[in-house]
């Protein structure tokens, strides 16, 4: 068994690299639409731009994971970070909409660094120590998404391309750190190298929906992800095209989201679970989210929009409750498989949600909010098919 202490430097470097990566990503997300709209891209086009990244990431992430099993974690992590650096540089220097899509698709293709980072932890830590390092990795991402939007918003005052160039430099720093400071952790005879499972198994994705309890929870995962990503398209479209918020203001609002998310996930959810079941909290999360997001579609003036948005920010996110329920309804030996399927459905939602929301904005820009609200209401409806008591099943 590997010793945790001998890998403490690996973990410190890994967390720093992923923090830099998250900071790079968080810097540009609030500014994608204000920047892309300069090329004539409308909200419908924005939906396809988001989906192009998610589709490429959905396809490439398991391939990158498999390649890291074969060739090592370090080279694949470095390649991913270099790919992000190049894609951000292309995005910042783009002269056409086509170049914007090429840049985002390249970032999606090389964007599987989180799965590689998780593999590094699995390689180098004892099973009982992995959870805390996974949590720290997640916290580094959370911190990056907290600081990044504010940084992007401030930098945008000096030109909309400036945040993208700075994000490219930040990502390049992460690549250099990984190259010079991160050792290889893959074990040559690892069982992962010998596994021959399909990279993407569409049949399994469909058949999993027929499984008792977990099947309906996977369907709710997809619905929740579609609604969440539709909300993002609605938010960027309405704040830019209807409310005319500046990139700086949009960046600060995203930072507010980050603060609310940290408070809710770090303190709020833990407190709520003492008094309510995950099922009840999931229902109220989807229902309240639907109500407030639906109201945003009617709030076409800054003051009421921001007031409603403030309430929405502190609604507990649904995904922790869904993941807990899925895990609780699955046998121990199938945990990795079922959570992998859950992530696949989340990724599908990241593809479907932006496209459908973008199409909704073609009719009326705030309609993306109403679409998200309807989708989440459908999720509430699906919850009636979750049994009160479920025995753990095999996949």
pTM of the model: 0.81
Of 320, 313, 221, 319, residue with least CA distance to 270: 320
Task: Give the residue extent of every domain in the chain.
Answer: 11-182, 201-389
What distance in Å separates the CA atoms of residue 308 and residue 314, rounded to the nearest whole number?
11
List, for residues 166-198, the tens digit of each pLDDT value.
988 988 888 888 888 877 776 665 444 444 445
Helix ranges, the chain (H): 8-28, 32-36, 43-71, 73-92, 97-109, 113-124, 127-155, 162-181, 191-194, 202-207, 214-237, 247-263, 269-272, 278-296, 302-313, 319-328, 335-363, 367-382
Mean per-residue pLDDT, 346-374: 94
Is 90 exceeded by the pLDDT of residue 165? yes
Q: How confident is the model at residue 262 (pLDDT cuts 50, 70, 90)?
A: confident
Model confidence over 5-61: pLDDT tens digits? 445 677 777 777 777 777 777 788 778 888 888 888 899 999 999 899 888 888 887
User: Domain 11-182 carries which CATH code?
Assistant: 1.20.1250.20
Q: Which range is most confident: 127-141, 170-184, 346-360? A: 346-360
Condensed to tens digits (0 to 9), the pLDDT of residues 289-337 reads 999 999 999 998 999 999 999 999 888 888 778 877 887 777 765 665 6
Tally of CB atoms within 10 A around 164: 28
Residue 2 pLDDT exceeds 50: no
On the question of a common fold for 11-182 and 201-389, the answer reads: yes
pLDDT band at 1 (very low <50, low <70, confident <90, very high): very low
Topology classification of domain 201-389? Growth Hormone; Chain: A; (1.20.1250)
pLDDT band for 223, please (50, 70, 90 cuts): very high
pLDDT surpassing 70 at residue 97: yes
């Amino acid at each position: 068994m590997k010793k945790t202490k001998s890998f403490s430097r690996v973990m410190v470097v890994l967390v720093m690299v992923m923090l830099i990566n998250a900071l790079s990503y968080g810097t540009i997300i609030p500014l994608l639409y204000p920047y892309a709209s300069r090329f004539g891209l409308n909200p419908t086009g924005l939906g396809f731009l988001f989906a192009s990244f998610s589709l490429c990431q959905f396809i490439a992430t398991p391939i990158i994971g498999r390649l890291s099993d074969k060739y090592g974690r370090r080279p694949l992590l470095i390649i991913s970070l270099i790919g992000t650096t190049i894609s951000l540089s292309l995005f910042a220097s783009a002269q056409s909409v086509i170049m914007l899509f090429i840049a985002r698709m390249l970032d999606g293709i090389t964007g599987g660094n989180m799965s590689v980072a998780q593999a590094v932890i699995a390689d180098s830590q004892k099973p009982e120590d992995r959870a805390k390092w996974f949590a720290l990795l997640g916290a580094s991402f959370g911190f990056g998404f907290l600081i990044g939007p504010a940084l992007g918003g401030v930098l945008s005052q000096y030109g909309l391309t400036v945040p993208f160039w700075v994000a490219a430099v930040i990502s390049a720093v992460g690549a250099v750190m990984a190259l010079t400071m991160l050792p290889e952790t893959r074990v040559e005879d690892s069982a992962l190298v010998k596994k021959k499972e399909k990279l993407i198994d569409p049949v399994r994705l469909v058949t999993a929906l027929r499984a008792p309890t977990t099947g309906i929870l996977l369907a709710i995962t997809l619905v929740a992800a579609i609604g969440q990503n539709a909300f993002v398209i609605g938010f960027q479209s309405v704040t830019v095209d209807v409310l005319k918020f500046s990139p700086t203001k949009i960046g600060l609002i995203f930072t507010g989201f980050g603060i609310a998310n940290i408070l809710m996930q770090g303190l709020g959810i833990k407190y709520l679970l003492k008094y309510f079941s995950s099922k009840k909290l999931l229902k109220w999360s989807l229902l309240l989210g639907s109500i407030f997001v639906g109201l945003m579609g009617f709030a076409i003036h800054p003051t009421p929009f921001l007031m409603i948005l403030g309430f929405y920010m502190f609604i507990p996110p649904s995904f922790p409750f869904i993941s807990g329920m899925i895990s609780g309804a699955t046998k121990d030996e199938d945990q990795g498989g079922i959570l992998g399927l859950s992530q696949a459905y989340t990724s599908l939602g990241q593809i479907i949600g932006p496209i459908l929301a973008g199409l909704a904005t073609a009719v009326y820009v705030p309609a993306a909010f109403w679409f998200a609200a309807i989708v989440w209401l459908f999720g509430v409806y699906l919850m009636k098919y979750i049994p009160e008591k479920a025995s753990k099943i095999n996949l």
